[in-house]
Amino acid sequence: MTEPAPAKVDMAKLVSLSQRRGFIFPSSEIYGGLSSCWDYGPLGVELKRNIKQAWWRAVVQERDDMVGLDASILMHPRTWEASGHLKGFADPLVECKSCHLRWRSDDLKGDSCPSCGGELTEPRMFNLMFKTFMGPVEEESSTVYLRPETAQGMFVNFENVVNTTRKRLPFGIAQIGKAFRNEITTGNFIFRCREFEQMEIEFFVRPETAQQWFDYWVKERLNWYVKLGIKKENLKLRQHTKEELAHYARECYDIDYFFPMGWAELEGIANRGDFDLVQHSSFSGKSLAYYDEETKQHITPYIIEPSAGVDRTFLALLCDAYDEDIAEGEKRVVLHFHPDLAPIKVAVLPLSRRENLVSLAKEVYADLHQHFMVQYDDAQSIGRRYRRQDEIGTPFCVTVDFQSLEDKQVTIRERDSLNQIRVPIVELKKTLQAKLAGEDLFVLPPGGSVWKGGKEGEGV
């Protein structure tokens, strides 16, 4: 696939918008912040929640071969011996002999320190797991780790899930949860963080069907991003070479996204073979074999693992939704979020702060916010309020005007096309539900009217 032209939004614009509008803030900002740690603000937490809900709906709710799990962040330390993380979960680092800063050697473009130009040491391996201690005494026997991935919780609970759900192969376990990695080289906003959230599936299959299921999940996961509204030209599949495969992987594809800094991993899909269940069986002394009713034999399933990052998905959606255009002769910043993902679905805007108009608008707001995430805004001109809602990705604005006092109708203004329709208040909730579900904007409820173009707010 031919790579697209560089994205028209740069990272600085995304960072500025995120902080200005309440998507993402630097962690502990009043103390100067904490490197590569971020707080999700009022709009960010809604977008993040919507991403996770969309993923859960697609991989658990709408399927009959998947169940959910929420495993503990702290796990028995033997877990990480069995998984290979204690020995193998490391990055090659070099240290500057002058300023003593450390860098990932595979990220460096030259052979000198990027900070001061000093001479670098030979690469040494550095384990990325955060270590802590459980109990009142800091000693080696009480050492535990913040999990660097959510996957191991699903492997060690394999037998529990089989026994309690009576699922038969093929089936999967899905989990959304926090993971922690002591990354040395961070950056690119929320792309690489020390604390992040994963959406992972461990799909257990008969060994002879592993390739079929691997191919299925690669296509399924790529299509999920397209359904969320991400442009196809900004996505591509990249197969791992044999040299870069993880120690557990038999095959792996990355779904890459064209971020402002270039192509980078959005999600990985791996065929993990039987490595994990074999390892945990060996280290725990407890068999994790599966009894196959069809063959009347005990087998160790292969595992297909689609692993996505919530934060990277968030960033990709921000990049893909961001646009700048001209509306009413003015520059407009707009986020073209899929309606399922938009943090605020509807904004209610009274045309003025006149008491009778505000009263009606608040009645409309009170009814709608039982069903949607809604904002009420009566500050500044109607044009400025439209711009604010465009900038946070709100699909629809409902304007309550003086005519509304007489005919009990309001105007719905659509974010992307700027088209407007006028509908009876009694039909408003039903109409918005249809619009958010993707029905044609110009299929009107009884008594409604529509117009295209013209000056924004005309007829309002």
> Could you write out the DSSP letters of every residue in 403-444?
HHHHH-EEEEEETTT--EEEEEGGGHHHHHHHHHTT--TT-P
d(CA 435, CA 432): 5
Residue type, 455: K
Handedness of CA 228, 232, 233, 235 (dihedral sign): positive
Q: What is the mean pLDDT of each run of 10 residues along the chain (460 residues)?
A: 56 91 92 88 96 96 96 92 77 80 74 85 79 77 88 94 92 96 76 92 96 96 94 94 86 94 93 94 93 89 96 95 84 92 96 91 94 93 92 96 93 92 93 84 50 43
Distance of CA 284 to the CA centre of its chain: 34
Q: How many CA atoms lie within 13 A of 8 on its CB side?
A: 7
User: Domain with 217 in it: what CATH number?
Assistant: 3.30.930.10
Q: 452, 454, 394: which is closest to 419 by C-alpha?
A: 452
Q: Does 280 share its domain with 407?
A: no
163/299 same-domain check: yes
In a domain, 88, yes or no: no
Residue 236 has what pLDDT?
95
Strands 290-292 and 297-299 turn out to be antiparallel
CA distance 83 to 155: 10
The H or E element containing residue 458 is none
Contact 92, 124 (CB under 8 A): yes
Residue 149 lies in a domain: no
**Identity (one letter) of the amino acid at 349?**
L
Q: Encoding tokens for residue 447?
A: 């008594």
191 plus 260 within the same structural domain: yes
Alpha-carbon span 78 to 74, nearest angstrom: 12
What are the distances in angstroms from CA 103 to CA 88, 112, 120, 123?
18, 10, 9, 9
Residue 53 forms part of a structural domain? yes
> 314 with 350, same domain?
no
Residues 314 and 394 in one domain: no
pLDDT, position 88 = 60
- Residue 183 CB contacts under 8 Å (≥ 6 apart), including other chains: 36, 128, 192, 193, 194
Q: Are residues 160 and 232 in the same domain?
A: yes
Closest CA to 152 of 173, 133, 136: 173
Burial of 68 (0-12, 13-18, 19+ CB in 10 A): middle
Q: Is residue 142 part of a domain?
A: no
HEC string of 89-142 equals CEEEEEEECCCCCEEEHHHCCCCECCCCCCEECCCEEEECCEEEECCCCCCHHH
Helices of type H across 304-398: 310-321, 355-368, 382-392
Q: Give the range of the structural domain holding residue 388, as residue numbers without chain letter.
A: 344-451
pLDDT of residue 452: 45
* Torsion sign across C-alpha atoms 149, 237, 249, 301: positive
Tell me if 64 is assigned to some domain.
Answer: yes
What CATH number corresponds to the domain at position 388? 3.40.50.800
Looking at the structure, do residues 300 and 351 belong to the same domain, yes or no? no
What's the whole-model pTM score? 0.86
Based on the fold, state whether residues 312 and 380 are members of the same structural domain: no
Residues 368 and 236 in one domain: no
Distance of alpha carbon 37 from alpha carbon 69, whole angstroms: 26
H/E segment holding residue 8: none
Beta strand 171-180 with 66-68: parallel, antiparallel or unpaired?
Answer: parallel
232 and 161 assigned to the same domain: yes
What total number of domains does the chain contain? Answer: 2
Phi and psi at residue 319, in whole multiples of 5°? -60, -45
* Residue 398 and residue 375 in contact, taking contact as beta carbons nearer than 8 Å: no
Q: 205 in a domain, yes or no?
A: yes
**Is 307 a domain residue?**
yes
Do 282 and 421 lie in one domain? The reply is: no
Query: Residue 290: what residue type?
Result: Y
To which residue do tokens 């658990």 refer? 60
User: Is 115 part of any domain?
Assistant: no
Res 403: pLDDT = 92
Same domain, 180 and 306: yes
